[in-house]
Each structure stands twice: as structure tokens, then as C-alpha cells.
Structure 1
Amino acid sequence: MNQPSILIVDDEIGPRESLRMILKPTYQVYTAEDGKKAIEIIHQQAIDLVTLDLRMPGISGIEVLKAIKKHNSDIEVVIITGYGTLKTAIDGIRWEAFDYITKPFNVAEIISVIKKAVERRKLNVHLSNLLNNVQELGIKRDFDVVKSTLQENQPLIEKIRKIFNENAKENRSGNPIDFLEFIKVLSCTLESKDPYTHGHSGRVSYYSNLITEKLPFTKEEKNELQIATFLHDIGKVGVSNEYIFKETALTDKEWEIVKLHPIKGVDLIKPLNVSSFIISVIRHHHERMDGKGYPDGLKRDEIPLAARVVGLADAYDAMTTDRPYRIALSKDAVIRELRINAGTQFDPKLVEIFLGFLENGELIALS
């Protein structure tokens, strides 16, 4: 990637031209005054990043965001608007906008955000190259192939991680890209192969973070938990799509294979040298309070608190999204399920915290 390409989409000529002048010395810049023109350019040019206004004549900014992500989910989008609402912010998260900035924007802030987004785009290219030679990833889910590819490409993984260190030295704004961005891109690259899991880890991260706001987690633990949420299901690359997407009940043998994914996940991430905190979440997020979970049959306080948090967030996302075997549950049905399973499957204290958000309207399903 030589000079990154940026598309500025804004119906107001003042902000559009101001941003063009700011970015032109560093990037190849295209502009569009409405959504229709923006979509045309996206299909004609190799765009790395889009800055997008929400309130425009014709096609709305959110509809343009959807069209961009459907055309190429790797294109980064930064929303810049003077008419933001809670709904548009949630829609931006749902459709994986990189950031959400309100007008009038601060020049230093927008330069910093765009630089971070472009760096993540570069990283995505590196990771795509890394994973492209694993043809079975989205089809056969060959665990041994994925594992060996990660191990054989350990120098490349370290090289990718250095991108963040170099960017941190160059970034004067105090907001360097960190290892979490690397994990997010790795997770999204893997999830993009599966229509039913795309965006799952991001939603689990959001719900988990919400729960920890009511818990005595340190800042470091919250950061570690974020990384863990984006890695919690990585072991599923070692489970056949035949089982993951099966529309009927799994056989006992098939279920035993699926239940191995936390162990496979821990094995897979060893090349990334992550902490024991993260490993414990990946291994234990399917344990149950009554000891009937997997892989180790832990119960109650034997289960790490962070794993209990992710287990609840993971189950909530599963209940509120369509799956091959059923449609998403209603809000009332979800509340019933959480209450019924509090104390057996889920930590009852965490359920009460989560229901507080859900029943008070403070939590909006991102699916």
C-alpha cells in the first residue's frame, strides 16, 4: 500500500473542502457530495478509508455505511457529523464504523483518528496475506493447517505487532494503536468467513465491558478482557462448518467435538504470547455455575470472574441473533431465559447487573 486513498463524503462544501485540504498532503483524496456519488466511487476506486457525514440529501449516511461494508467490509469508515443521535451511534457500531466524531471537528483529533484507521487497514492487508494461504479456514476449518500457519508465520506476526510500536512512536496525539487493534482485526478476519458469526466478538466485547462497569475490575483487567472477548471463540476454526451451521441437533459425538473449541483456542493463541488472564477466559467461558459446563466442569467461584462475564455476554448475543437453527429471541424471551438460568448456567449477580441494563433500556442489542 503506497499512498492510502480516502473518500470524503459530505454534502456541505465547507467541511468537505476543509478536510480535503487537511488530508491532501498525506493521502490520495476523493470527494463526494452525496451518498449516490460515494457508492459509485467505492465501486470504481480502491478506497482504504471513508469519512462519512450522516445527514445528506437522498441516501442517508447510515445507508451509505451499509453499502460500503457490504461491498468491502475491510474499508474503514469514520463518521463525522453534526447531527448525531444515540440511534445513529448504535447503527455506526453495528455496521463497524471505526470511529464517530461530531462537528465541528478538532483538526488534531481527526488527523489522529484517520491515521489510526489507516494503520488498521494496513494491518488488515498484512493479516489477509497471512491467512490467504489457509484455504481451508472458511471451508474445512482445518485446525492443524491454521495452527501450523500461525506458528510458521511467527516472524510475520511479530512484524505486524511492530507496526503498532512504530505507530506509537510516530503518533504525537497520545492515542497510539495498541495490541487490541491487532486482535480486533485478527478476530474480524476470521469471523468474516462465517455469515452467522460476523461481528459476534465485537458485540460480546461491548456487552462484557458494560457488565464490568459495575464490577471492581482494574483498568488493566478491563483492557485484558477486551482482548479476550475478541479471541474467545478463535478455537472454532478447528471445528467443521458442518457442525457449526448444522440446522438439526448435534449427535453426542459431534457435540463432543464442538466442546473442544476452548482448548483448541488456547492452543492456537500461544504464538501471540498473551496473558494467563486472557487464556483463562478463552478456556473457561463455557463453564457453568452448576459444574455442568465445559471443558473442565468448573463450578461457582472456581470459574474466573472474567470468564463468567464473557459467558453471559456470549450467551446473550447468541440469544439475540439469528442462527441456522432458529431466529433471534424477543426481549421478553431473553429476560425469561436469563432469569431461569441464573444460578445454574450464569452467575446470578451478573444476571442482575445485566438485567438492570436491559430492563432500564440502557442496553441495546447490536445484532
Structure 2
Amino acid sequence: MALAEGVRAMTSTDTHKFSILIIEDEAGPRDALKMILRPFYDLYTADNAHTAMRLLRELKIDLVTLDLKLPDRQGVDLLQDIKLEREDAEVIIITGYGSLKSAMDGIRYGAAAYLLKPFNVTELISLINQTLEKKQRLDRLRALLKTPLLHWGTESEAAESWRLLSDEYCSVAQTRRGGHIRLDEYSEFAPVLSDLLEAKSRALFNHCCRVSCYAVLLGEHLDLPAGERRALAIGAFLHDIGRVGIDEQATTRPGGLGYQTRDLLQRHPEIGARMVLPLRLPAEVGQIISYHHEQYDGSGYPYGLQGDGIPRLARIVGIAQAFDHLAMEHPALHSPQAFEEAAEQIRRLGGSRFDPSLAELFARVIADTKASIPALVTSPRSTALPKS
């Protein structure tokens, strides 16, 4: 009863009733979902991919429930189509044919959640409720990111931009304390940082989650002090925060990257470091953000540092972020082979791009843990900003 009242309260305070598209080819499960959700949402249904895409083009759909087995299109392929057509539509995969690979593919291609049949009705409604609440927050942050109100050029401009973001965030989140999130309280500001990355791009958010996991995995084999371990986890998650401060529409234009666009992208470490200055994070976090693209031989950017002149935690994150890109590009995505071969590439680049001792250790760590990595990077703790 309390859950139903919570759903009604959420839907009644919005300017529109949320719309859900149920994509399910079997009449029984489709009708069951309609019966469960009809009291709370505007519902549309499709029993094939063609109809689903037509409805997405014609209607304002807030959330999609997606079955992975369809007669005319595989579920993960349709998920990619949905996100290309309507990036702002959230997708919850509901399937009776779940596997770790399909769960990882779903996360990779932008699904908000993954639910196995048979499911608990309370669990389903709670999951939809949480997903739509988060969608509200992300939509508001995306709108603010597109305005000319945010500036990150100086520390004072960055502080004012964070105040605008926190006020906007608090207007839709249920975490308001005394009407304001304190910039000097990292534990209070952490949810804003996490949602801000996801508002920019879910792919970026997932990349940052994985990089934090890989960096922490390497850090655990280095006997780092507790303060450095915490800074490593936070800095790895925020290493690409500077991309939030860049208009990246130019990067998707036909014809490749021009010189000016490439120069802008290569400034994201210094932009990111300026962005977090007002947040009073540990100094090591700022160093990670500033230097994670520096290379051991001095050929990196933006400062051309080399060797031990690059702070050790930044060298660790540089390895972790490069490893993630290599693993995600591997033909055997999410397989132990993909992780092992990506780690071997890191080892071979030791002494040129990467610290040779760290690269060697990282390759050994991945070889020892490659079978458990898929579960590690899709676990709940890999999708949240490290706590203080």
C-alpha cells in the first residue's frame, strides 16, 4: 500500500503522467505488466521491434520495459536502436533468459536496470519508481548543462556553477538538508557528481565506474595507505569529469576531429581539475584528474610530464583507463580473453606509455583475476561514487 501511494505521489506531482512502452512478444507476460502498471502510468505495448520503434518515434516515451527475445530483433540490438532513437528514454530489461553476458551488454548499451522473470511485483514497481525519479534528476541536469549558465574557467566560476548544479539537483532529489548541499562536505556532494557524469553520458559514467574498479584492484596490491586508497577510488571515478565542461557535439560531426576539436578534448584534464577545486577533495584527486593522460616517456598531455614526475596515483589511473578502452574494443567483449589480451598490451607498453613496474604488476593482477572481472565491474558497488 505504501509503495503504491509513493508511486501515485510521484506521478501526481509531475506536469505529465509518465509514459511506459512495454515491449514483449508473449501475450501473457505483456498483459500481466499492463495490469500491474496501468493504475500509475500511460501504457503502450509492442510485440515486435518494428512496432516498438514506430511508437518511440511518434510518442513521448519515458521508460521502456524490454524483453530480450523478440521475433524480428534480438533484445540487445533493439536496445541499441532505442538509445540511438531516444537517448532520454530509460530502458529496463525484463527477461527469462538472463546471463552475465546479457546483463553486461545491457549495461554497456545503456539499460538502466535488469530484472529476471519471474519477478516480484513490488520489486518491479519499486525499480520503475527509482528509475523514473533518477530520470527526472538527469533530465534537469542535462538541461542545465546545455545552458550558458555554467562556467569553469576560474575557481570562483566553478564554485558558482557547482552551486547552481546543487540547487537544481536539490529541487528534484529527496536529499535536501537545510535547503543546500555544502560544497565542503564531499559525502553530501557525491550524488551530484555521480549523476552529473551520468547526465553527460551513460557510457562515460560506466567507463568511470569500471576505471575506478580497475584502479582500486591495482591499488590493493601496492599496500597504499588508507588515505591514498580513498583518493585513488574517488580520483579514478572522476578522472574524466572535465568532459562535463566541454561541448562535445563537435566530436560527432562527420569528417573526423579537426585540430581545434582535438585540442579542446585534450584540455579535459585541466578543465576537470579546475572544476573540482571548490569541492575541497584530497589533493591527490586533483592530481589524478590533471595527469591521467600523461605518459611515462613524456609524450602524453596536457603537460608532457614523464617518469616519476607523474604522481603515482595518476600513473595507476592512466593504466586503468587505457585498459578499459582496450578491453571494451576487443572482439571477444567481456570474455577473460579480452581482459587478458588488453592487459598484455598494457604490459608491452610499459616503459613507453606506462610505468613499467606498474604495467607488469597490473598484467599479473588481471591474469589472476580475469575470470571474476565481469562480475566485479557489474556489481552494485561498481556503479556508485566511493564514499568518504
TM-score when scaled to structure 1?
A: 0.70
CA distance in 1 between partners of 2:33 and 2:227 (Å):
36
Which segment drifts farther, 333-342 or 295-304? 295-304
Unpaired stretches in structure 1, ≥5 consecutive residues:
169-177, 192-197, 323-329
- Give the AA of the match of 2:311: I
- Contact 1:48/1:76 (8 A) holds in 2: yes
CA distance in 2 between partners of 1:261 and 1:165 (Å):
31
Displacement after TM superposition at 1:213 (Å) = 4.4
Match of 1:33 in 2: 47
- Contact 2:211/2:237 (8 A) holds in 1: no
Superposition map of 1:188-203 within 5 A: 188-191=198-201, 199-203=203-207
CA distance in 2 between partners of 1:290 and 1:123 (Å):
42
Displacement after TM superposition at 1:81 (Å) = 0.7
Deviations along 1:106-142, whole A, 9 cap, x unmatched?
223222222221122111221122122249x9xxxx9
From 142, 167, 173, the counterpart of 1:158: 167
Superposition map of 1:236-275 within 5 A: 236=243, 237=245, 260-270=267-277
Displacement after TM superposition at 1:238 (Å) = 5.4
- Give the AA of the match of 1:354: I
- Contact 1:357/1:363 (8 A) holds in 2: no
- Contact 1:204/1:313 (8 A) holds in 2: no
- Contact 2:92/2:113 (8 A) holds in 1: yes
TM-score when scaled to structure 2?
A: 0.67
Displacement after TM superposition at 1:287 (Å) = 4.3
Match of 1:183 in 2: 193
Displacement after TM superposition at 1:52 (Å) = 0.9
- Contact 1:207/1:313 (8 A) holds in 2: yes
CA distance in 2 between partners of 1:310 and 1:131 (Å):
26
Displacement after TM superposition at 1:69 (Å) = 0.2
Displacement after TM superposition at 1:89 (Å) = 1.8
| Shift in CA distance, 89/221, structure 1 to aligned 2, threshold 3 Å | farther
Superposition map of 1:61-100 within 5 A: 61-100=75-114
Match of 1:194 in 2: none
- Contact 2:25/2:46 (8 A) holds in 1: yes
- Contact 1:143/1:238 (8 A) holds in 2: no
CA distance in 2 between partners of 1:10 and 1:108 (Å):
20
From 338, 341, 362, the counterpart of 2:349: 341
Does 2:360 align with 1:352? no
From 113, 120, 123, the counterpart of 1:109: 123
SS of residue matched to 1:315: helix
SS of residue matched to 1:199: helix
CA distance in 1 between partners of 2:225 and 2:127 (Å):
26
- Give the AA of the match of 1:159: E
| Shift in CA distance, 36/335, structure 1 to aligned 2, threshold 3 Å | same
Count residues with an aligned counterpart: 334
Deviations along 1:299-328, whole A, 9 cap, x unmatched?
5597354x3443112212444678xxxxxx
Unpaired stretches in structure 2, ≥5 consecutive residues:
1-13, 178-187, 330-336, 379-388
Match of 2:63 in 1: 49
Does 2:322 align with 1:310? no
Q: Percent identity?
A: 30
Displacement after TM superposition at 1:96 (Å) = 1.1
CA distance in 1 between partners of 2:114 and 2:44 (Å):
20
- Give the AA of the match of 1:46: K
| Shift in CA distance, 166/25, structure 1 to aligned 2, threshold 3 Å | farther
Does 2:127 align with 1:123? no
Displacement after TM superposition at 1:24 (Å) = 2.9
- Contact 1:290/1:299 (8 A) holds in 2: yes
- Give the AA of the match of 1:186: L
SS of residue matched to 2:28: helix
CA distance in 2 between partners of 1:179 and 1:226 (Å):
16
SS of residue matched to 1:165: coil
| Shift in CA distance, 143/362, structure 1 to aligned 2, threshold 3 Å | closer
